[in-house]
Structure 1
Amino acid sequence: MKHLRHLTTFGAFALAALAGVAPTPPAVAKDTPNIIVIMADDLGYGDLSCYGATELKTPNIDRLAQDGLQFNQGYCSASTCTPTRFSFLTGMYAFRQPGAGIAPPNATSLIKPGTETVASLLKTAGYKTGVVGKWHLGLGEGDAPDWNGKLKPGPLEIGFDYCFLMPTTNDRVPSVYVENHRVVDLDPADPLWVGKKRPSPDHPVGSDPEVRKTLKMDWSHGHNQTVHNGIGRIGFFTGGEKARWRDEDLADAWVEKSVAFIEKHQSDPFFLFFASHDLHVPRMPHERFQGTTKLGYRGDAIVQLDWCVGELTKTLDRLGLRENTLIVFCSDNGPVLDDGYQDGAIEKLHEHTPSGIYRGGKYSIYEGGTRTPFITSWPGTIKPGRSDKIVCTVDLPASLAKLAGQSLPAGACPDSFNVLDALLGKDDAQGRDHLLQQPNKGPTLALRVGDWKVLSYADAKPKKHLTYEKGPGKHELYNLSDDPSETNNLAKSKPEKLKELLSQLEEIQSAGHSRPDWSEN
């Protein structure tokens, strides 16, 4: 039996009037589900056993899929982390926001206070809102975050009631936790400094040959500046020794804080953004997961991610909340193997295909960059099955606002479509009819309309790199129904279709929004 909440509007106003205070309109006027969005990091379409992986098992995520709706055409909005996270929260394609590429260590808040977000929309609806895990959207304002003071603005200024964060990424400095507005366990006598230049000649960096010999995980490219926990990072930092985390403990910290948030708000409707760092580099899962797969640390990190999902669902079961909780499982972008560290991801790949049948991965606008695992689970409400509807993480603000009974304010979430019925697997539900895809930032973009997809690059040069490749030509055209792996470029043989899609792409770029009723709500 579902655990339902009831609020009587008349009663709330009457009690307030009797008390002689101005009544506050009740935010929750109907039964509402809890919502948990679990966003993996660098997880590909083929990385889970429920999506066809045979070299490892992901039983907890598989259970979500078996009990819920597994999407064959679920997307993130970009093939890199910061843009997807920005779009997921704001409902706006990140290429529209200057500076919304991969955020550097000293980035300040990319989402400004006053911006409507999925968190602010749900908070208005009466939800308690929290984010735990990787942030990578900047903190503070001005030239750099005030690491030794208040890190404001941040998540609490855009709709979250609580946050416990890794402020950047695990391969970028500083390697500390942030809870609400402060670095956790920071000793004022040992201030934290973050910068772009080596602070002193004796500061340990991974590029020093003698230091490199001592690393517990060697770098392959980049990631050779400040050494922390035996691993080179991007950027420089000093101080904050008591505040520093250990890579192996990150997943445990996310689970601990998330469970505490759920327990605290079990009697409220709550929204939790569980922002996993797995399987972002450096892949250094807890010792109990190391060696659990034959795929090396990358495979072990997938198993650790699966454990996290299991801990969250066990908590919901223990508290009797599972049947009143919608879980959305997704990823911020597609997979990458060598992303700067020598961790065996390539050498130990065996028969595993991280992108499934799809071409490309992280940094790419081919399908492998943005088509990722996407699962919705709500026992008793969502019927188990698979869906071919096109849905995207950028649609979660509009869709979850609808679920909570909220209308989108005029001018908010300009690219977020209400695909709630598709997420819930309702009969005759409609998904997206088109979707824009981006890598880190413009001008490279792709547009899918129905089964057709056009890729538009900044130049015509072919590229081949460890983490990124593209074919020759400035434009590519594919029919995904006939050619889901994007191997047959039809740009020359279908010039009219190419022209049509490029015109639509230019229109979406210049319009500033893609949601038709953007200014009418």
Structure 2
Amino acid sequence: LAKRGTAFTNAHCQATLCNPSRSSVLTGLRPSTTGIHGLSPGIRQVERTKDVVTLPQTFTRAGWETFTCGKIYHDGSIPQKDRDSEFKTWGPAPGQSLPDKRFAKLPGNPIRMMDWGAFPEKDEDIADTFTREAVGFIERNKEKPFFLYFAPHDVHPPTIPHPRFVGTTGLGNRADMLSELDWSVGEILKTLERHGLAKNTLVIFSSDNGASPMNENGHLPNGPWRGKKSQLWEGGHREPFIARWPGHIASGTTSDDLVCLVDLPATAAAVAGQKLAEGAAPDSFNLLPILLGQPEAKKRDSLVVMSGKGDLAIRQGSWKYIPDLALANGWDSGPVKPNAPARPGLFDLSKDKGESQNLYKDRPEIAKRMAGLLTNAQSAKSTRPPSSK
């Protein structure tokens, strides 16, 4: 996919946890605005987002067919009666088309994991089912403009790959499931090719938070970046982001432009030829000019990210500022004593990908500027420059 498109090496989610991250993807609002910081509530269960026009609704209003399957709305937060107002067509999704919640206790894993997408009855058939549904949607709508949000189970526990993928990587079940995910993406791309749709279809591949395991049999899922899911370290919010659109997006290229998943709603509006309503998606930056390689494209200057416990950090250029390192580990942060002084952190990621050299005391002028940027962003009604709608 990357060989036929552009891989963005400086891509991030807005929140290092799945539900608040996807809430930002759907609404174009940062988590500190939505108030969604954890695994609940859903976007239609809070005052700020209960009536906002979402990413799929932008395409629906433009007359496109829309389809989803998999883990998008967290744990069935969209009632059955309201589903059609979000996507025109639904495939299998947790809490939507499934029986009561099922749980799986994995061998050697003391945590009782919720199975977010068990459909059908056998867990190992989930990928086949989701992929078949997505391919079927494309084939039924090949003569129409369509938006497909494919959210496979394969990146989330419990890790139960189909038997034909077991052992394919030599790195364990989770890596085998990622091999299964690669197959699913390939089947969707083959379908576009088979029906002559590839040249007229924008494909974006990404994820909604950093990998949870930090070492799998010698493989480092987050590469050189420190940290993991729920944490403020780079490994918590760095994401893959590959965009392919033959004839529009350059092939086999990389970009270090700063991009974020919260930018997808404004980008979707531009792709669909729709104008964002006044005040809609105020934290979403239109990436389309960047994707198309336009030399005068406006680019994102900074980014605020949130941990799994609601704490914030800010990125600008190569600099990263964390107001209190005691809170950087998200869910894994220990208790903080009341009135304990904060321990700020400042890191130059161009020289320190592991965020191990705290330059807060060495570069006080940069630390002060970054702290001010974060304060201003928290109080701003919109973090999107006016020219990037």
Once the two structures are TM-superposed, the CA of residue 420 in structure 1 deviates from its matched residue by 1.1
Identify the match of residue 80 of structure 1 among 17, 27, 32: 17
2:52 aligned residue (115, 119, 134): 115
CA distance in 1, matches of 2:16, 2:151: 16
Normalized against structure 1, the TM-score is what?
A: 0.67
2:31–2:37 CA contact under 8 A, matched in 1: yes
Residue number in structure 1 paired with 2:338: none
* Unaligned residue ranges in structure 1 (runs of 5+): 1-63, 142-149, 169-177, 187-191, 195-203, 207-214, 224-231, 236-240, 339-345
Query: Which digits, 9 at most, give the CA deviation of each residue in 1:239-265, with x for residues without a partner?
Result: xx9x86322111111101101111111
Counterparts of 1:80 and 1:462 in 2: how far apart (Å)? 13
Give 1:65's aligned residue. Answer: 2
SS at match of 2:256: strand
CA RMSD of aligned residues (A): 3.1
Tell me, which stretches of 5 or more residues in structure 2 are unaligned? 336-340
Give the whole-Å Cα distance in 1 for the aligned partners of 2:334 and 2:357.
15
Contact 1:82 1:137 (C-alpha < 8 Å) held by counterparts: yes
Q: Please identify which structure carries the higher helix content.
A: 2
2:161 to 279, 285, 294: 285
Secondary structure at the aligned position of 2:386 is classed as coil
CA distance in 1, matches of 2:249, 2:329: 43
Q: 1:414 to 1:462 in 2, by over 3 A?
A: closer
- Count of residues in Structure 1 that have an aligned counterpart in Structure 2: 381
Helix, strand or coil for the counterpart of 1:333? coil
Q: Using the aligned pairs only, state the percent identity.
A: 39
AA aligned opposite 2:195: L
2:324 is the alignment partner of 1:434 = no
Match of 2:195 among 315, 319, 330: 319
Match among 117, 121, 124 for residue 61 of structure 2: 124
Measure how far apart 1:114 and its partner are: 2.8
| CA distance 1:245–1:93, change in 2 (3 Å) | farther
SS in 2 for 1:152: helix
Contact 1:100 1:110 in 2 (8 A): no
Aligned residue in 2 for 1:421: 289
What pairs up with 1:246-395 in 2 under 5 angstroms?
246-337=122-213, 348-350=216-218, 352-384=219-251, 385-395=253-263
> How far does the alpha carbon of each residue in 1:342-385 deviate from its partner, in whole angstroms, 9 at most, with x for none?
xxxx5x522x2211111112111111111121100011221111
The answer (yes or no) to whether the contact 2:67–2:148 under 8 Å persists in 1 is: yes
Structure 1 residues 472-512: Cα deviation after superposition (integer angstroms, max 9, x where no partner): 95321112223233221111222232122112111111223
Letter in 2 for 1:498: A
Task: Pick from 472, 487, 505 the counterpart of residue 356 of structure 2.
Answer: 487
Q: What SS does the corresponding residue of 1:130 show, helix, strand or coil?
A: strand
Matches of residues 425-504 of structure 1 in structure 2 within 5 Å?
A: 425-442=293-310, 444-457=311-324, 460=326, 474-504=343-373
Tell me if 1:90 matches 2:90.
no
Q: Secondary structure at the match of 1:96?
A: helix
| Kept after mapping to 1: 8 A contact 2:326/2:334 | no
Once residues 184 and 372 of structure 2 are traced to their aligned partners in structure 1, the CA distance between those partners, rounded to angstroms, is: 44
Structure 1 pair 251/468, CA: closer, same or farther in 2 (3 Å)? farther
SS in 2 for 1:86: helix
Aligned-partner Cα distance in 2 for 1:503–1:66: 40
What is the alpha-carbon distance in structure 2 between the residues aligned to residue 94 and residue 364 of structure 1? 15
Alpha-carbon contact 2:266-2:281 (below 8 Å) kept: yes
- Do 1:326 and 1:376's aligned partners in 2 also have CA atoms closer than 8 Å? yes
Shift of the 517–205 alpha-carbon distance from structure 1 to 2, 3 Å rule, reads closer
Are 1:405 and 2:332 matched, yes or no?
no
Match for 2:90: what amino acid?
C
Shift in alpha-carbon separation, 1:272–1:441, aligned structure 2, 3 A: farther
Q: Where do 1:46-57 residues align within 5 Å?
A: none
> Which of 74, 88, 92 lines up with 1:161 in the alignment?
88
- Post-superposition Cα deviations, 1:378-398, rounded to whole Å, max 9, x if no partner, equal 112211111111111110110
Deviation at 1:95, TM superposition (A): 2.5
* TM-score normalized with structure 2 length: 0.88
Give the residue type in structure 2 aligned to 1:74. A
Q: Distance in 2 between matches of 1:140 and 1:485?
A: 37
Whole-Å Cα distance in 2 between the matches of residues 294 and 469 of structure 1? 34
Note if contact 2:66-2:147 (Cα within 8 Å) is conserved in structure 1: yes
Confirm whether residue 507 of structure 1 aligns to residue 383 of structure 2.
no
> SS at 1:278's partner residue?
helix
* Alignment-derived partner of residue 80 in structure 2: 151
Task: Assess, with a 3 A threshold, how the Cα gap between structure 1 residues 474 and 96 changes in structure 2: closer, same or farther.
Answer: farther
Residues 231, 328 of structure 2: 8 Å contact kept:
no
What amino acid is aligned across from residue 89 of structure 2 in structure 1?
Y
Does structure 1 residue 219 correspond to structure 2 residue 109? yes
Deviations 1:98-139 (A, max 9, x none): 3441238xx684475531111111222221111111124354
**Aligned with 1:137 (options 74, 93, 104):** 74
